[in-house]
């Protein structure tokens, strides 16, 4: 019985015109009062449940808004300077002497990763230019086209395990992390290692594993890798890196001296373990340093 019907019955019993009618009315009134009390009891329970539900909903809303805020943080980063990223992808990834970048995963990744957050603030204006940008300690974040070319040549697929030597700003690692969630990266300069690790975390790329050390020796603990990318020029293909490549795996690495034109090599490990390599293009990279980590 709904509370609205009961209310009407109570007011009808207020003015009895005969005894029978009066008894009936009194009886009705008592019933109504009892029902009202009952209803009040029910109301209290309903109210308590409502208050409890409201608290739960508010708590839920707070959690959802926390998640949304974290999300907004990321999507804000992704939406910031998106037009410049589109221009970068549309204008820099083809043309005279360039291999056209057609791999959709690479294009999508580079459209998403906020490159401007990987360059020092003072060079923010250069973030989407067709050139490398200094990141301190004599190092540079590679030109966008070279990042795209190397990533495309690696042919990374979701779920593949990829090792990068030379974390630098963390940009290349972030581009890879958009394609697979198993990215490992080693940096030899401590402050770069620290700032890149922090930057990757702040961007929500917690799955990227970073390490301080000489990448020449690879990362045995997580070997073998489907793909290896070296972003500093080596004098030769480091044997430990080739060893840590899966059969059928691939390494992209610039090879050559510091003051020479270097060759960007695609080195394959055949299923038989045999090594083959081809030159993708000529490049200029900072040298692969050797020895203990430096400050
Ligand atoms: N991939 C980086 C840029 C690379 S610059 C980015 O996306 O920003 C080359 C980087 O390789 C530098 O940070 C340099 O400190 C690092 N490096 C040089 N020799 C290394 C070595 N032996 N092991 C690990 N990192 C090395």
H helix count then E strand count, the chain: 8, 9
- Helix ranges, 80-154 (H): 82-92, 104-112, 144-154
Mean predicted lDDT score pLDDT of the chain: 84
Q: 217-227: per-residue pLDDT in tens?
A: 999 999 999 99
Q: Please check the confidence at residue 20 and state whether its pLDDT lies above 90.
A: no
> Residue 231 CB: number of other CB atoms within 10 A?
28
Q: Whose CA is nearest to atom 12 of ligand 1?
A: 168
Name the strand (E) or helix (H) holding 176.
Answer: helix 171-177
Residues flanking ligand 1, CB < 6 Å: 139-142, 165-166, 168-169, 171-172, 186-189, 192, 214-216, 231-232, 286, 288-290
Q: What is the pTM of this model?
A: 0.78
Q: 224 CA to middle of ligand 1, Å?
A: 21
User: Which stretch of 54-68, 111-125, 134-148 has the lowest confidence by average pLDDT?
Assistant: 54-68
**Which among 175, 190, 181, 179 has a CA at the least distance from the CA of 231?**
175
| Residue from 35, 131, 142, 195 carrying the catalytic annotation | 142
């Amino acid at each position: 019985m709904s509370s609205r019907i009961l209310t009407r019955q109570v007011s009808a019993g207020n003015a009895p015109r005969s005894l029978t009618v009066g008894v009936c009315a009194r009886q009705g009134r008592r019933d109504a009062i009892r029902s009202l009390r009952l209803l009040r009891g029910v109301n209290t329970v309903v109210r308590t449940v409502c208050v409890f539900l409201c608290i739960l909903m508010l708590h839920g809303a707070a959690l959802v808004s926390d998640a949304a805020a974290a999300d907004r943080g990321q999507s804000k980063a992704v939406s910031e300077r998106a037009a410049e990223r589109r221009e970068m992808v549309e204008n820099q990834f083809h043309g005279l002497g360039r291999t056209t970048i057609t791999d959709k995963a690479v294009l999508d990744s580079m459209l998403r990763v906020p490159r401007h957050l990987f360059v020092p603030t003072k060079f923010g204006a250069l973030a989407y230019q067709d050139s490398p940008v200094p990141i301190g300690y004599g190092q540079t974040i590679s030109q966008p086209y070279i990042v795209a070319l190397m990533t495309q040549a690696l042919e990374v697929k979701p779920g593949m395990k990829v090792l990068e030597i030379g974390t630098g700003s963390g940009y290349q690692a972030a581009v890879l992390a958009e394609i697979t969630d198993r990215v490992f990266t080693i940096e030899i300069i401590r402050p770069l290692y620290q700032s890149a690790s922090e930057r990757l975390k702040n961007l929500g790329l917690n799955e990227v594993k970073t390490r301080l050390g000489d990448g020449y020796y690879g990362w045995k603990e997580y070997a073998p890798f489907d793909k290896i990318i070296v972003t500093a020029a080596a004098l030769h293909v480091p044997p430990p890196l080739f060893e840590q490549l899966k059969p059928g795996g691939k390494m992209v690495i610039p090879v050559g001296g510091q003051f020479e034109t270097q060759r960007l090599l695609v080195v394959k490990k055949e299923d038989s373990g045999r090594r083959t390599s081809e030159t993708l293009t000529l490049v200029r990279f900072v040298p692969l340093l050797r020895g203990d980590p430096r400050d």
